[in-house]
Amino acid sequence: GAALRRNAAPSRPSHRSHYSTASEPERKVAILGAAGGIGQPLALLMKLNPLVSSLSLYDIANTPGVAADVSHINSRAQVEGYAGEEQLGKALEGSDVVIIPAGVPRKPGMTRDDLFNINAGIVKSLCTAIAKYCPSALVNMISNPVNSTLPIAAEVFKKAGTYDEKKLFGVTTLDVVRAKTFYAGKAEVPVAEVNVPVVGGHAGITILPLFSQATPKSNNLADEEIKALTKRTQDGGTEVVEAKAGKGSATLSMAYAGAIFADACLKGLNGVPDIVECSFVQSSVTELPFFASKVRLGKNGVEEVLGLGPLSDYEQQGLESLKPELKASIEKGIKFANQN
């Protein structure tokens, strides 16, 4: 009735800086796969991020609904939904950060590598469009198997002549989020204060948490407990896949992790100093061409890839045993990109 009409919102605002905040620069973030299990909560979290002025939600279908829904939240970002390949260019144009959670998730009994056959092609075509429409955006790759999809993206960009190793990131933040949570529980320290670097890659034993460097320090963790924490971090994805029993893999904790990492990228772009996150990037930290370690973020993306620091004997062994698998996954991605 009348009351409802009095409270009704004014007609839809124009797209330009309606809720502009003078202090922060305009930043466009695109999410590819925005209608999915990760994409939807990630869209919500990015809508809540005051560093985002424009939020572009792309998927092959269902994005108009997600975009309409999220757009009603009274925060800064102007939201647009794009559905179908013919709208991909518009979705990407002008993006500062592109987050990619497009592709199929695991079911119980599958490895991340079992997703390769479907997701490799999806990632390849999305990256081809990124090279065309927003070649200087920072790319946050979430689609699995990250150990292979990141090298695919690098190859696609190299072929297009747009590759900048400072701008391509495999998102491994969920491994860090898990390591922090599990460590805080065992070490009985406040979870909000915990830091744990996680290096290597993003699958099984290639995920190497460095609990010897965890802070706050805990004196009372036995070697067996460190081993159990390491194993739980490495199998964290599988723990969720099994609990979801066929309904997919981590989506909510992943959206949280993806939002943390994209926020770090935006802060870096905006010139905030000392932004450090772990990420799977082009690297010379080991003999492998891509490796996850701490990375300092800045105005051009990667400012510095930080070294591993001192490792315990157990971590040193873990590092040596992960290399063959990680190397093979990287080479599989490179080969795919150059054959197809």
Is the peptide bond between 209 and the residue preceding it cis, with omega within 30 degrees of 0? no
Q: Does 200 bind ligand NAD (CB under 6 A)?
A: no
Q: Which of 44, 45, 48, 60 binds ligand NAD (CB under 6 A)?
A: 60
Residue 240 interface partner, choices ligand LMR, ligand NAD, none, CB cut-off 5-8 Å depending on type: ligand LMR
- Do 196 and 180 contact (CB within 8 A), yes or no? yes
101 binds, among ligand NAD, ligand LMR, none (CB under 5 to 8 A by kind): ligand NAD
3-state SS, residue 208: strand
Q: Is 51 helix (H, G, I), strand (E, B) or coil?
A: coil
User: Candidates 31-39, 208-216, 297-305, 309-317 — which segment interacts with ligand NAD by CB under 6 A?
Assistant: 31-39
Task: Of 108, 278, 296, give the one whose Cα is nearest residue 179.
Answer: 278
Torsional class of 295: left (φ above 0), alpha (ψ -120 to 50), beta (otherwise): beta
Does residue 278 bind ligand LMR (CB under 6 A)?
A: no
Task: Give the binding range for ligand NAD (CB under 6 A) out of 74-82, 222-230, 243-251, 329-337.
Answer: 243-251
- Residue whose entry in the numeric block shows the structure tokens 């315990």: 312
Least distance to ligand NAD from the beta carbon of 222, Å? 29
Q: Does 249 bind ligand LMR (CB under 6 A)?
A: yes
- Is 202 a catalytic site residue? yes
Ranges within 151-180 binding ligand LMR (CB under 6 A): 174
Task: Give the nearer residue to ligand NAD in terms of CB position, either 68 or 216.
Answer: 68
Under a CB-based contact definition with an 8 Å cutoff, are residues 119 and 252 in contact? no
Q: Are 165 and 282 in contact (CB under 8 A)?
A: yes
Closer residue to ligand NAD (CB): 162 or 238: 238
Length of the chain: 340
Among residues 259, 265, 267, the alpha carbon closest in space to that of 47 is found at: 259
Residues that bind ligand NAD (CB under 6 A): 32-33, 35-39, 59-60, 101-106, 115, 119, 122, 126, 142-144, 146, 171, 174, 202, 248-251, 254
List, by residue number, the catalytic residues: 202
